[in-house]
Structure 1
Amino acid sequence: MARVRNWYTRSKSATLIWFISLITFYALFRMASNLSPSSKDLPVSIGERLKLYDKMSRDLDEHGALFLKHGETSQSLLLSDLFDAKNGSLTPVLKAANPPVRANVLHLSTEYSLPIAKAVRDVFSPTLNEVIWFQNSELYHFSMLHASHHVLPVPASEEEIEAEVDAVKSVADQLCPMGILLDRVVLTSTGVLLGCWQVISGTDPVDIRSKLRNALPRAPEKQLYAPAILHTSLARILGHPKTSSEDPDVDSELQHFHELVARLNKRISGTKATISELWYVEEYDVLALALDGKMKIRRFQFGCSKA
C-alpha cells in the first residue's frame, strides 16, 4: 500500500511539473506570436544602428567643424545658401523645389518632442543663440523613404501623386506602433544636432523602408539614409559659440561643442517615446520640413494594434 502511495505521489508531482511547463511554453508562444512581423530582425537592426551611431559620434572629431566654414549639409547643400544671419538671428532662405520633394516620414508627437526641444534650447541657447536654428518641435520627424528628392528628382502628375498617397496609406495600415528609446545625441561635422534612437518594440525601420520601397516602385534607387537608421534633426549650428575667451582656438571650440552635447545627453538620453503616425509630405520648398517652408502633409495612423 505504501508503494502505491509513493507511486501516486511521484506521479502527481510529475504531472504537476509537466502541467506548469506546458502553461509556461504556451505563455511564451503567445508572447512570441504577438510580436511584430519584423521582430526577428530587431537584433540585427539594433547592431546596425549602434555601428552607425558610433560612426556619427566620431564624425566631428574626424572631420572637424565644417559648419564653421560654411560647409555642406548632410544633403550636399551649402549652409550659407540656406540661412541669412540678420539682427542676431537666423532666417531660412526658402527656395522652391522643382519638382517638389516627396518624403515619407514618421512623426514624433509633441508629447515627446516638446520636452526634448526645451532641453536643446536650454543647453545650446546661452552660447549659440545667434548662430543656431532650432527644428520646429511640431515637425520632429524620422525620414524613411523619398518618392522623389533633390538629388534624383522623380516628377509626378497629380494622378501619380494620389496613387502614391494611397500606396503609403496601405503601408501605414500594416505598421505597428513603435516603442523607441533615445540612444544618444550627436553633433556632426556639418553642424546638425541629431537624436539617434533605438527600437524596443513594434515595426522596425528596416521593415518600414522595405514596405515603402515595394509600394513606391518609381522612387529613386539611391536613398539619402541607411536602411536601419532612426534619427531626427534637433538643430543646426552655423557659427562660432560665444565663449569667455576673446580669441578661442579650434580645439577649445570643439571641446565646448562636446561639453554641450554631453550635457544634453545627460539630460535626455534614455527618453522613451511611441511612434504611430506616417506622413506623406510634398515639400514645395527645399528642406521645407527642416526650415518651416511650404508643404502639404497627409497624415496616416498606424493600422496594426498590439492590444
Structure 2
Amino acid sequence: MARVRNWYNQSKSATLIWCISLITFYAVFRMASKVSAPSRDLQVSNAERYRMYDKMSRDLDEHGALFLKHGETSQSLLLSDLFDVKNGSVTPVLKAANPPVRANVLYMSPDYSIPISKAVRDIFSPTLDKVIWFQNPELYHFSMFHASHHILPVPASEEEIEVEVNAVKGVAKKLCPMKIVLDRAVLTSTGVLLGCWQVISGTDPVTIRSKLRNALPRAPGKQLYAPAILHTSLARILGHFNDSSEESGSALELQHFHELVARLNKAIRGTQATISELWYVEEYDVLALALDGKMKIRRFQFGCSKE
C-alpha cells in the first residue's frame, strides 16, 4: 500500500511539472510569435511606405530644385510666405493662423532627435548655412491628423476644442508605443529634407489616423498626408550653395544635393526610436510647429503597454 501511495505521489508530481512546463512553453511561444515579426497589417503598411519613400526620393530629379526658384512648399505655401533671407541668415515669417490650425502629431523625444539634428547640421551647414532652416530638435514630430488646417479651416469654440482634446486623449489611451526605424532621408523638389520611417512594432499610423478620424468627425475630409506615411521634417533649404551663384549649373547643384543626402543617410539611416506620445496642438501661427511659432500643446502618453 505504501508503495502504491509513493508511486501515486511521484506520478502526481511529474504530471504537475509537465503541465507547468507545457504552460510556460506555450506562453513563451505566444510572446515570441508576437515580437519576432510584425503583423500582416504592419507589413502591408511598411510596403506602402516603402513605395511612397521611393517615389519621394525621385522627386528632386523629376521636378528639379523648385526651391531655388522660390516655388511652393509641400503645403501649397510659397517659401517667401514662410521665410525671410537677409544678411546671410534665415528668419521665419510668422503669420497668424485664423482660425488656429488644430494638429494631432506624434512627438519624438530629444533622446532621438538631437543626434539626428546634429548630423543634419554637421553635413549641411558648411555649404548652406545662409539658406537653410533647421527644424528645432525639441519639436521633431510626425503629423497624423488635423481637426482643422489652413487649406480647409474648421472654426471651433473653446467648448468644441475641449471636446476634441478629450476625444484625442481617449485615442491616446488605446495606442501602443511604436518602435520605428529610419528608412531614409530624402530631399524633395520643394527643398524639404525629410526623415522617412518604418514601423517595427506598435500601433501603425494607418490605425492612428483612422482612430483620430472617428474621434474627430468635424475634421476636414481632405487631410494633408497619406494614411500610411510616417515622416518628419529635418530642415528646409531655401537657396543656392554658399559658393555658387544664380548662374550655377543645375546639374552640378543637383549632384551636390544628392551627395549631401547620401552622406546624411550614411550617418543616420537605420536609427531606431520609440514613439509613445500624442500631441493635440493649436497652432496660432501658420506652421508654428515647423517655424517655432506661437502654439498651445496638450500632451498625452500612449496608454497601451503592449508592443
Asked whether the two chains share a fold, i.e. TM above 0.5, the reply is yes
Supply the distance in 1 between the matched residues of 2:192 and 2:79 (Cα, whole angstroms).
11
Q: CA deviation at 1:246?
A: 9.6
Cα 1:272–1:175 change in 2 (3 A) is same
Q: Which residue matches 1:81?
A: 81
- State the Cα deviation string for residues 53-94 of structure 1 (Å, max 9, x = none): 000000000000000000000000000121111121011111
Cα 1:164–1:45 change in 2 (3 A) is same
- State the Cα deviation string for residues 198-257 of structure 1 (Å, max 9, x = none): 000111101110111110011111100000000000000000012478952000000000
Listed as ranges, the matches of 1:39-58 within 5 Å are 39-58=39-58
Supply the distance in 2 between the matched residues of 1:246 and 1:296 (Cα, whole angstroms).
40
Supply the distance in 2 between the matched residues of 1:55 and 1:180 (Cα, whole angstroms).
20
TM-score, normalised relative to structure 1: 0.89
Q: Which residue matches 2:108?
A: 108
Supply the distance in 1 between the matched residues of 2:39 and 2:145 (Cα, whole angstroms).
21
- State the Cα deviation string for residues 90-142 of structure 1 (Å, max 9, x = none): 11111000000000000000000000000000000000000000000000000
Q: CA deviation at 1:28?
A: 2.8
Q: Which residue matches 2:72?
A: 72
Residue segments in structure 2 that go unaligned for 5+ positions in a row: 1-19
Q: Which residue matches 1:304?
A: 304
**Residue correspondences, number:** 290
Q: CA deviation at 1:31?
A: 3.9
Q: Which residue matches 2:130?
A: 130
Secondary structure of residue in 1 paired with 2:41 = helix
Q: CA RMSD in A?
A: 2.3
For 1:47, give the aligned amino acid.
A
Listed as ranges, the matches of 1:116-155 within 5 Å are 116-155=116-155
Residue segments in structure 1 that go unaligned for 5+ positions in a row: 1-18
Supply the distance in 2 between the matched residues of 1:303 and 1:34 (Cα, whole angstroms).
19
Q: Would you say 1:176 and 2:179 are equivalent positions?
A: no
Q: CA deviation at 1:40?
A: 3.6
For 1:203, give the aligned amino acid.
T
Q: CA deviation at 1:259?
A: 0.3
Matched-pair contact (CA < 8 Å) for 1:39–1:202: no
Q: CA deviation at 1:30?
A: 3.7
Identity %: 78
Supply the distance in 2 between the matched residues of 1:76 and 1:266 (Cα, whole angstroms).
31
TM-score, normalised relative to structure 2: 0.89
Q: Which residue matches 1:231?
A: 231
For 1:29, give the aligned amino acid.
R
Q: Which residue matches 2:30?
A: 29
Q: Would you say 1:215 and 2:190 are equivalent positions?
A: no
Cα 1:107–1:247 change in 2 (3 A) is same
Supply the distance in 1 between the matched residues of 2:237 and 2:245 (Cα, whole angstroms).
19
